[in-house]
Chain A
């Protein structure tokens, strides 16, 4: 697969082969950047919260499991609205 040079390893992760066009999802409460990433042997979706400094790479199975969650799951995830309560 041809990998355009300017997209290689954009996040400083040396093992990343390619990063797709980022997509931004925002409303008045939060901002996230979403993009598809390619590892040497597969692909994942990166979700990044730039203002909070969190990032997660989700594989198809994890993403699939999100598709059947109810709003209550996310209410539970938001019990700590800014990420884990670290002291």
Chain B
């Protein structure tokens, strides 16, 4: 069935989600072309490739890329396809190499992407007369840019600057990815596939505070993370700005130091945060009293920051995870889950934070297990014939006429708009963006609306 993008856009703008978007081949083909063919997409963190020659192999849907630090220390992204017969050049998921040699016929490339060697060049090609290797380089995506060590690519050479794309979301992204000038250390990714549509995780992390007390009730029951209780969760604020949004938890009264200490940061990390973040950024914690938790940058990069108890004595330690919802098809997603921690953190903290992460997220994490059961079920249901007639109710926080039930938070210290309490404000924002991309291949408003 051909996709009626205009109808999709109208439904989504009204807070109705055509259920089929969670498992439909035609919708997926459009997403592949207009979202994954143009938006800025996360590939890797610089900390994964610290030394010259270090590389990881990553995908943007079906396109494979080598993300490598070349011999000059510059980060490069090469389309992982030999220029000769199209063989995949790097097949190991990670490694270190100054040059790549194609397994098929041996065409060889420097890690800067230049073709340097062709077997039997004189016999086979008549030397330079037939083929000048110097003129050939591996294909690159349209654009590559880095923010706080996060390496992004866009397949669209005309994509806006990454900093403009991130826009106000940089204010929030810094909480996760720049807690000091030392930057992040990352472990992973753990990688696994779930039979779920990629958007469900992105929406969940973007703003679904409503599911936490129910889906994750066992996390509350065993007192792994007590702030997930419904009465605490609904006090959190939900913010959205430009291409991203997220959830927060309300902190108990106190100074910046007391509040950051409440979620488990030791004094030396609190000091470096205060040195690193702007006064406006610190005000989110110190004045407004909110601590960032889960977030999503459109389309498929999510972050999470929680503070569970990691031992029987109830030691609270925060952790950060970066996650990518990489589509495999309309009904399947490859989840990439990194553990991230400030590089300057003391060793005991890094270890305890890693434990906190493993208890909550990653393939062994309790939150992860709970979530995926829901997401695979939604995806399975969305395949059915009746799902094509059903619009899901995405109107939490607005009345029947679409009027907001609550006013935005006054004096919110960060960019964008924020609300306290349960509401699907952010999911609506994310899906509105999604439908604009489906229509235009960009965030530009749909013509005629």
Contacts and interface: CB of A to CB of B under 8 A. Distances in A.
A61 interface: no
- Which size class do B's interface residues fall under? 20 to 34
Contacts of B71: 71
Interface stretch (B111-119, B165-173, B412-420): B111-119
Given A29-B99, A29-B100, A71 B119 contact: no
Given A79-B117, A82-B119, A85-B120, A28 B110 contact: no
A75 B110 contact: yes
B108 A85 contact: no
A53 interface: no
A81 B123 contact: no
Interface of A: 27-30, 71, 74-76, 78-82, 85, 87
11 contacts: A27-B97, A29-B97, A71-B110, A75-B110, A75-B114, A78-B108, A81-B107, A82-B106, A85-B119, A85-B121, A87-B123
Contacts of B92: 27-28
Given A27-B92, A28-B91, A81-B106, A75 B119 contact: no
B413 to A, nearest CB: 48
B64 interface: no
Nearest to B120: A85
Which of A29, A71, A78, A87: most chain B CB closer than 10 A? Answer: A29
B315 to A, nearest CB: 41
B101 interface: yes
A29 B101 contact: yes
B98 interface: yes
B121 to A, nearest CB: 7
Nearest to A29: B101
A80 B110 contact: no
A78 B117 contact: yes
B369 interface: no
A80 B98 CA distance: 15
Contact of B123 (A28, A74, A78, A85): A85
A37 B96 CA distance: 27
Given A81-B101, A81-B106, A27 B95 contact: yes
A50 to B, nearest CB: 16
A81 B97 CA distance: 14
B392 interface: no
Nearest to B72: A71
Q: Which 9 A-B pairs have the closest CB atoms?
A: A75-B116, A71-B71, A28-B92, A81-B108, A81-B117, A78-B117, A81-B106, A29-B101, A85-B120
Which of B96, B116, B119, B122: most chain A CB closer than 10 A? Answer: B116
B8 interface: no
Given A28-B91, A29-B100, A78-B117, 20 more contacts: A27-B92, A27-B95, A27-B97, A28-B92, A29-B97, A29-B99, A29-B101, A75-B99, A75-B116, A76-B116, A78-B99, A78-B116, A79-B117, A81-B101, A81-B106, A81-B108, A81-B119, A82-B119, A85-B119, A85-B123
A30 B101 contact: yes
A30 B92 CA distance: 12
Contact of A28 (B95, B114, B116, B133): B95
B316 interface: no
Which of B92, B95, B99, B114: most chain A CB closer than 10 A? Answer: B99
Contacts of B108: 78, 81
A27 B89 CA distance: 13
A76 B134 CA distance: 11
Contacts of A71: 71, 98, 110, 112
B90 interface: yes
B116 A79 contact: yes
Nearest to B133: A79
Nearest to A26: B95
B89 to A, nearest CB: 9
Contacts of A29: 97, 99-101
A28 B94 CA distance: 9
Interface string B117-133: 11111110000000001
B119 A74 contact: no
A85 B114 CA distance: 20
Contacts of B117: 75, 78-81
Nearest to B97: A27
A27 B99 CA distance: 11
A26 B2 CA distance: 50
